[in-house]
A and B are shown apart, each in its own frame.
Chain A
Amino acid sequence: MQRHVWFMVAIFGAAAAPLAAQSGPQGDTWESIAKLPDFGGLWEVTRGGGPRGAGEPPAFTPEYAAKLAEYQAATARGEIEDGPAANCVPNGMPSIMTQPYPMEVLFTPGKVTILIEAYAQWRQIFTDGREHPEDPDLTFNGHSIGHWEGESLVVDTVGFVTDTSLGNQGQRHSEKMHIVERFKLASPDVLEVQTTITDPEALTKPFVRTATYGRHRDWTLAEYVCQQNNRNFTTDDGKSGIDLSFEEEE
């Protein structure tokens, strides 16, 4: 009897071993992509689904709380009227994910690509099992790796410039900001993204927000060249305005 059990284990083990060797991470082949949840169509943040939804505000360390207080005081004095986006500088992570324009999520073997209409941005999330670089270049959208946990895409992103904010201009972060996002379909046409931000220099505990996006299967991405006719501006000393110059047509 016992011998029989071991025989069965051996048979199953022999059969399973080559299968395991062939199948890498979920989404690494076209065949496995076909089994992933359907993220097709365009996704636009739903009302109330943005970055200022319910949840505790970021818990800043004394140093970063002081930065926020300084920013708020300067704003109150009228010294800061706007942020760099008025000059068409993209928001970077995490705010680029909650702009009032849609995004598209594409699966190809080993990679998820998010096309973000606002500021014509993209993010690439490597799902081929690679790690982050040891010393990543610092960028606006960071370096992302991801994996599937059942129906959820879990994305881990590091390597950020400090030009960006956590959502409000005064809410700063360090180069050590670390973002984990969990993407899943909350219902057939609602994508939910839970974003957890940690930062050993700026935050005393994780800052968590959940955004929801509605699906628009009939929409297509549109061009967004911010410099085309950007009449808003903000100067180095924080003043903002609008350029009303106008050339009469002949």
Chain B
Amino acid sequence: MRTTTVRSGRARALRHVGMVLGSVVGILAVGAWVARAEAHHSFSVFDMQTNKELEGEVVEFQWTNPHSFLWINVTNADGSKTRWGLEGMSPNYLGRRGWTKNTFEPGDHVKVVVWPLKSGEPGGTLQKATFDDGTEVVNFGNRAGGG
């Protein structure tokens, strides 16, 4: 049913890059990014004091500008399902830090940490996602810096 087996080698390798880079500098990078929020939009609609954890199945990963969007179906306590839309960095940014359009595929089971929308709508900023095999990708990634 899923294509996990076919892509797993490459995807794992890429995730591993993201995991290593992400865990080393992820938090610093978040700070750096937020300070640069004027880039496209402010973070006023997000509750950045809350690290909300969600678990669900990937519906679609939109590899688009100005933001990537990860759509996941989350099963609620009462058994109902809610589709969450999670904004991420752009392909331009993430693509230079090991992500690809196939980083998430429909059916992937993920645990995510998000800054939820203040409005209460099912959306937020993706901070990181963890796959069943324990690998992790960090949205703000490694700010390459250069030099």
- Residues of A participating in the B interface, judged by any CB pair closer than 8 Å: 43-44, 46-48, 50, 52, 81-83, 85-86, 88, 91, 95, 98-101, 117-118, 167-169, 187, 189-190, 213-216, 219, 222-226, 228-232, 234, 240-242, 244, 246, 249
- Residues of B participating in the A interface, judged by any CB pair closer than 8 Å: 28, 32-33, 35-36, 38-42, 44-45, 60, 62, 64-67, 69, 71, 83, 85, 87, 90-93, 95-96, 117, 119, 121-123, 143-147
Q: A82-B41, A241-B45 are in contact. List 13 more A-B contacts (CB 8 A).
A: A46-B145, A47-B145, A86-B42, A88-B66, A101-B93, A189-B147, A190-B147, A216-B146, A224-B90, A229-B67, A232-B40, A242-B85, A249-B60
Taken together as a complex, chains A and B put the C-alpha atoms of A43 and B144 apart, in Å, by: 11
Tell me which residues across on chain B come within 8 A of A46, comparing CB atoms.
145-147
Tell me which residues across on chain A come within 8 A of B64, comparing CB atoms.
228-229
CB distance from A13 to the nearest CB of B (A): 47
Tell me which residues across on chain A come within 8 A of B96, comparing CB atoms.
216, 219
Taken together as a complex, chains A and B put the C-alpha atoms of A47 and B144 apart, in Å, by: 9
Find out whether the CB atom of A246 lies under 8 angstroms from the CB atom of B83: yes
Taken together as a complex, chains A and B put the C-alpha atoms of A52 and B36 apart, in Å, by: 9
Tell me which residues across on chain A come within 8 A of B121, comparing CB atoms.
242, 244
Q: Which of A83, A169, A229 has the most CB of B within 10 A?
A: A229
Say yes or no: A100-B41 contact (C-beta < 8 A), given A44-B146, A242-B123, A246-B85: no
Taken together as a complex, chains A and B put the C-alpha atoms of A88 and B85 apart, in Å, by: 20
Find out whether the CB atom of A50 lies under 8 angstroms from the CB atom of B36: yes
Taken together as a complex, chains A and B put the C-alpha atoms of A121 and B85 apart, in Å, by: 29
Taken together as a complex, chains A and B put the C-alpha atoms of A100 and B145 apart, in Å, by: 10
Taken together as a complex, chains A and B put the C-alpha atoms of A58 and B38 apart, in Å, by: 17
Interface of A is mostly: loop
Find out whether the CB atom of A229 lies under 8 angstroms from the CB atom of B40: no
Find out whether the CB atom of A226 lies under 8 angstroms from the CB atom of B65: yes
Say yes or no: A167-B38 contact (C-beta < 8 A), given A189-B146, A224-B92, A242-B45: yes
Taken together as a complex, chains A and B put the C-alpha atoms of A99 and B40 apart, in Å, by: 9
Find out whether the CB atom of B38 lies under 8 angstroms from the CB atom of A85: yes
Taken together as a complex, chains A and B put the C-alpha atoms of A82 and B42 apart, in Å, by: 5
- 17 pairs across A/B with beta carbons < 8 Å? A46-B146, A47-B32, A47-B143, A48-B32, A52-B35, A85-B39, A85-B40, A187-B147, A214-B145, A216-B144, A224-B92, A226-B65, A230-B66, A232-B67, A240-B44, A244-B121, A244-B123
Tell me which residues across on chain B come within 8 A of A231, comparing CB atoms.
67, 69, 85, 87
Taken together as a complex, chains A and B put the C-alpha atoms of A2 and B67 apart, in Å, by: 76
Taken together as a complex, chains A and B put the C-alpha atoms of A50 and B42 apart, in Å, by: 16
Tell me which residues across on chain B come within 8 A of A117, comparing CB atoms.
92
Say yes or no: A240-B42 contact (C-beta < 8 A), given A216-B146, A223-B65, A224-B65: yes
Taken together as a complex, chains A and B put the C-alpha atoms of A17 and B145 apart, in Å, by: 47
